[in-house]
Every structure is written in structure tokens, then in C-alpha cells.
Structure 1
Amino acid sequence: MKIARIETFYVPPRWLFVRVETQDGAVGWGEASLEGYAEAVDGVFEALRDRLVGHDARRIEDIWQLAYRGGFYRGGPVLMSAISGLDQALWDLKGRSLGVPVWELLGGQVRQHVQAYAWIGGDRPDQVAEAAAQRRSQGFGAVKMNATAELGWLDRPAALDGVVERVLAAQAQGLDVALDFHGRVHRPMARQLLRLLEPLRLLFVEEPLLSEHPEALRDLAGHGGTPIALGERLYSRWDFKGFLASGVVDIIQPDLSHAGGISEVRKIAAMAEAYDVAVAPHCPLGPLALAACLQLAGCTPNVVLQELSLGMHYNQTHDLLNFVLNPEVLTPQGGLLSIPSGPGLGVEIDEAAVRAVHQERHRWRNPLWRGPDGSVSEW
């Protein structure tokens, strides 16, 4: 079971897949996607190959430690995304070699399915209502929407009224609603908006402020009872530690393709459980990232929700499923995603299709977002 090769593949629209193969022909797949920085993550694998080719693929924790500590400099989105994809691939390989899903290797199943939520858009209440009605017809019971797209860092208080109107339009379709602030607004604006939203009983608010401002988040956490979610821009248990200890977060959102893979997010979730904090993994990525999330959900008690990574494309382009030979395992039914029962991550990748599109080497970049005054805003 010694590692013979580690390959990476640029897969549209913006993903980076990882394939690990052992000397005896065993294969595992993972996803190291870091939106807009595929080339940087790919570069990390040059060093990882030098260190890990010839290593026993079954020693997943030892490989994780080597990858994290072996280069002296550690942490951050680029290195941790590379480690994430490698870690997923090793768990996939090990599960396949033993004929069991990853959740079986991590203590066994605690649930058969997890509630999914999908993204909706719309600048006006009528557009939001239409999008929400479509999600409802697809069986979803929960959606997430943008809270602050039109708001500046510090805007007119009356501008907040539109946010409330859009939430009410979605709730009128019988859906639970979560709001993503994207960390776009200044603390006084976020405080006012949370106060306005309090009676609406939201599922959660995401990144009301950027996680670079823990002291300001402590202030917000003391104003009202709407659950606060954050964590997609945190990359290790050490990044999450202070937020858990300070009590500012109710739901953490680690990304299994950014925060060290299955191994690390399993540890992050265990830390959160000790603080009575729920887990709702971030996942606007590809099929392997979603499959890894479902393996975590299958064996982790405090996972409560799963972002549906085809939320912006569902019933449109179906790009999430283009490279999967068994798409049914990633297709929601009645707003629920079932925990895959197949070996490894439970998804079968169309390797020929992946190799074909890799030749084009996508160059996806995050769109730039500017506020009403023309200044750069959070995307």
C-alpha cells in the first residue's frame, strides 16, 4: 500500500481533484479546490510528492502530520487545501481497499441522512419569492440568501428594510431562511440588522462580521438570540479554538476542502461538540468535497445541516454531477441528502472525463464585487 503517484487535475468550473495511487494499483480521489487559486494549491503538491511517494498510504494521520509540520511553515488556505484533498483521497483509498465507507472507519454511522439547504438569489422580494417557491417545489425546507449585497460598509439605516422584505418573501413560501452577510458591513450596521431580523427567527446568520474581528463578534453575540455561523475562512482546529472558547459562534462552517480534510474537520467537530456548537460544513464546491462532507455527517453527532454545493446550479447546469458515474448518491430527495453507503467516499469518478477536461487547465477567478460607492467589497 505504498504511494506510487499523486496526481492533480484542473476540473471546470473551478475545482482541483486529487488522485492517489499505490504501487499495487489501489486508487483514491479527493478534492483540493480553493476557488481562484488552483495553481497555488497545485504547486504545494510538488513538495508533497517529494515527501510522500513511497510512504504507506494507510498511515493517514502520519501523512497528515508530515504534510502539515514537515515544511516548517504551516496553516493558511493554500497549504491546508492541498492537505485537504490529499487527506480525502487517502480516506477514499483506504475505505475502498477495505470495502467500507469512510464513516465506518471513523466509528460507524450516527444518521442515515442530513438536511440540505440550497442558495437562492434575487434583488427584489418578488424575485426572492419566485426562487424560494422553486426550491420548495424541489423539496427543500431551507434556503440561504444574500443579506447585504446592496449595502455599503456603513450605509443608511433605511437600506436595511429591503433585507427584511426579502426574508419575509422567502419565509412566505414556507421555508426556513439563513442569511449570509459575507462580512460586508461595519459592526454598527450588522448590529442594527441583527436587531431588525430578531423577530423573524432565522435559521442562522453567516459571517455577520469577518472572522478577523473576534472582539467585534463578541459584541454582536451579546445582542439577540439569532444563531451566528462562521468558519469557511478558518483552516485548522487552532483557527477555530478561540471562537469556540469565547462563545461567539453557534454553528461552525469548516470547509472539508480548505480545513485539512476529513481528518482535521473531524477533530474540529469534536472540539465544537464540547462547547455545544453545531457543525454545518461549507461546500460550494465539487462532488468529492460534497461526498467528504456526507462521510463526516454520517459519523459526527453535531452535524446539523449540509450546504448543497450545486445550490447555484441545481436544475440548471448540473455541473456538480458531470464527472460522477453514480450521481444519485449526491442528489437530494425531499431536501435531504442520504449518507453514501458505498466504499470510500461513496462516489465513482469518471476518470476519462476528468483527464479530458484537465488538458484545458481552467483559470477560474473570483468575480470582483464593489459596493455602491465603488469601493472593493467582500465577495
Structure 2
Amino acid sequence: MKIRRIETFVVPPRWLFVRVEADDGHFGWGEGSLEGHAEAVEGAFENLRDRFVGHDPFRIEDIWQIGYRSGFYRGGPVLMSALSGLDQALWDLKGRALGQPAWELMGGRVRDRIRAYAWIGADRPHEVGEAARGRRAQGFSAVKMNATAELDRIGTPKAIEDVAERVHAAQAEGMDVGLDFHGRVHRPMAKQLAKMLEPLGLLFIEEPLLSENPEGLAQIAHLVATPIALGERLYSRWDFKPFFESGAVDIIQPDLSHAGGLSECRRIAAMAEAYDVAVAPHCPLGPLALAACLQLAATAPNVAIQEMSLGIHYNTGGHDLLNFLTDKQVLTPVDGYLPIPTGPGLGVEIDEAAVREADKDRHRWRNPVWRTRDGSFAEW
């Protein structure tokens, strides 16, 4: 068996799907979505096609090593997102060809389902209660929301009080809450916010500082008992390594469409296990990314909870998480949990005709640019 073609599809709302087909007709799907940079990831596939068309698709680890190391320059969001999509598609193809779920090929299941959380916006306090009620009606018992909207580097006591107000509004609806600082908070305020939030019993605070500030993250982690989560902007086990060693993180959030796919994220999870660090994969993306996450949840004992993008505000224009699936039940939460898929490969079936049609009107998604009241750039 040899790889015959590697195709990419830029589909709404902001996803990039990958399809790998072998010369005997077997195929697999993956997702290399990199929000706002689909064109760059698609360009990176030119190199991958040159290297791997004609290669044995069952040699997933060999392909991963060549894909990562052979171009001299390695790592980073663009190259790793392309490799992630290819890796997922290869696991899907191999599982389909052998009639087994990817998790079976990786050692078998450690669980039957994984707790899921949904996202609520919460940029404005009045939105929180209504959004939390909506998620509770869907069966969720946990949500993640933004801690703040756009924020100055030095804030006021009122800005800090508003964060607590948002949390209380969600908890009043019976929700466990993870709070995402989203890189919007800078060091002068991050310590104050983290300390103030400690008594509220949060699931975690995410990216209290950007991961480019490891020394500040370590300081915050040692200042408060609230679990610190990060990792969506880290792209390999080598990126995660210093955070394990410094004790700056309690929950890692690798994105299986950014951090080397199922192969690399399984290795990252194993590293985390050695440091007694939990895993909560980042996944505000599409169905193939989520299906890959569930394969990881099936095999990695320290996966604790799974993010999913059902109804997230990015999914506009009638395009939502389940749109391109022929069997939507596979990724539908039940009582706040996602069942581990039992079908071959990644365990989901993609409507290929719908994907090809959607690719004709390719999205050009970009994140917004925010400014503070003085007109300067604000982290989104």
C-alpha cells in the first residue's frame, strides 16, 4: 500500500480538513485547522506531498519523524498544524484498513467516556447566567469562559470584581467553571486576579500569562492553589518540557490539530503523567479534531476533561461542530460526557460530498483586533 494523494479542504467556519488516500482505495481524514492561518497551513502541505506521496501510510511514526525533522526548520504553529492533520488522517486510514479504532491500535481503552465542557463567552457579565443555563439544558455540568474582555496592563479594583461576578453567575447555575485569561492579562494584574479567584473553587485558570512568560507562570503557580492550565500555543513535547520541569502547570491543553496530531499528543500526555499533570486537550475546532481528542482520551489515563466546540460563537452562518458528519450521534454529549467512538480509525464518518462542495467557497476567517481605551493594541 502506498499513499496516492494528500488533499486539503478549507471549509467553514474556520477549519482545514485533510484527506489521505492510498493506491488500494483506503482513505483517512484529519484536521489541520490553525485558526486564521488556513492558507499558510495549506502551503505547508506542498512539502508534505512531495515527501510522502508514494510512502507506506502504515509507517505513521516514520512519516512523523521525517515530517518533523527532515525540513531542517521545525516546530511552530504552521508546520506542526500541517503535520497534525496528516498524522490524524494516517491513523484514520490505518484504523479503517484494519477495521479497528485508532485507540485499539494504540494499546486499547482505559475509559469508556470522558467528561466534556462547553464554552460560554462571558465577555460581558450579563451574558453569563443565560449562557450557563443553556449549557446546563444541553446536559453539561462544566463550562469554560473568558475571565475578562479587553484589559489594560494595570487595572482597577472594579475590573477585578467584574471577573468574580462572572464566575458567581455561572456557578449559580450549577456549573463547574474553568476561567480562560486568554493571554489578555499581563503580569501586573495576573497575580492579583489569580489570588482573588482562589477562594472561588475554579476547575482551573487558563493562560494566566502567555506561555512566552514561563518565569511569571511559575511564580503564579506557586502563589495560588488553583490549578494552572496552558498549552494551546505549544506545539511539541519539547515546548512542554520546561513547564513540566518548573512546576508551572497542573493541566496541559495540547491542541491535537496544532501539536503534532495524535502521535505527538500521546507522547506529551505520557510526559505529563510522569509529572502528575492532567491533560485537557484544547479543541475549539471541528469534528475531526474532536474525534482525534477522543482517541487520546481513550488511551491516556491522565486525560481529565475534554473541550468541545458545539455552539461556540465562532461557528456562524449555520456551520456547527456536527455539520459534516453523516452520524451526528457519535460526537453528541450524553449527560455531560462524550462516549469514546468505537468505529474504525477516528470513529467518525465525514460527508465527503459536502466537504468538497464547501471547499468551493473557502473561508477567510480572521480573529478580531482589539484596542484598549487609549487606542493601543489589546490581546484578543
TM-score normalised by the shorter chain: which range applies? over 0.9
The answer for the alignment partner of 2:179 in structure 1 is 179
Please list, as runs of the form range in 1=range in 2, the aligned pairs for 1:1-379 lying within 5 A after superposition: 1-312=1-312, 317=318, 319-379=320-380
2:110 and 2:290 map into 1 onto residues whose CA distance is: 18
How many Å separate the matches in 2 of 1:21 and 1:315? Answer: 28
Q: Say if 2:315 and 2:321, in contact at 8 Å, map to a contact too.
A: no
Secondary structure at the residue paired with 1:332?
A: coil
**Comparing 179-188 and 31-40, the one that deviates more:** 179-188
Q: CA 1:111–1:94 in structure 2 vs 1: closer, same or farther (change >3 Å)?
A: same
Q: Which moved more, 1:364-373 or 1:184-193?
A: 364-373
1:314 offset after TM fit, Å?
A: 10
Change beyond 3 A, Cα 1:62–1:175: same
Provide structure 1 residue ranges, at least 5 long, that are not aligned to the other structure: none
Shift of 1:96: 0.4
- One-letter amino acid matched to 1:109: R
- 1:47 Cα shift? 0.9
**Which residues of structure 2 form unaligned runs of 5+?**
none
In structure 1, C-alpha distance between the alignment counterparts of 2:92 and 2:167, rounded to whole Å = 40
| Deviation of 1:311 (Å) | 4.4
SS in 2 for 1:145: strand
Query: Structure 2 length as normaliser, TM-score?
Result: 0.97
Letter in 2 for 1:206: E
- For normalisation by structure 1, the TM-score amounts to 0.97
2:14 and 2:61 map into 1 onto residues whose CA distance is 28
TM-superposed deviation, 1:124: 4.6
Cα-to-partner distance string for 1:290-342 (whole Å, 9 max, x where unaligned): 00000100111000010012241599845211111011111111111010000
What amino acid does structure 1 have at the position aligned with 2:325? V
CA RMSD of aligned residues (A): 1.4
Alpha-carbon displacement from aligned partner over 1:37-81 (angstroms, at most 9, x marks no partner): 111111111111111111100000000011111111000000000
Work out the CA distance in 2 between the residues paired with 1:61 and 1:150. Answer: 42
Are 1:143 and 1:175, in contact at CA under 8 Å, matched by a contact in 2?
yes
**For 1:372, what is the secondary structure of its paired residue?**
coil
Amino acid at match of 1:131: A
Residue by residue over 1:118-140, the C-alpha shift from the partner in whole angstroms, topping out at 9 and shown as x without a partner, is 11123454421111111112111
SS at match of 1:232: coil
- How many angstroms apart in 2 are the aligned matches of 1:308 and 1:113? 14
Q: Specify the code of the residue in structure 1 equivalent to 2:52.
A: L
The percentage of aligned residue pairs carrying the same residue is 74
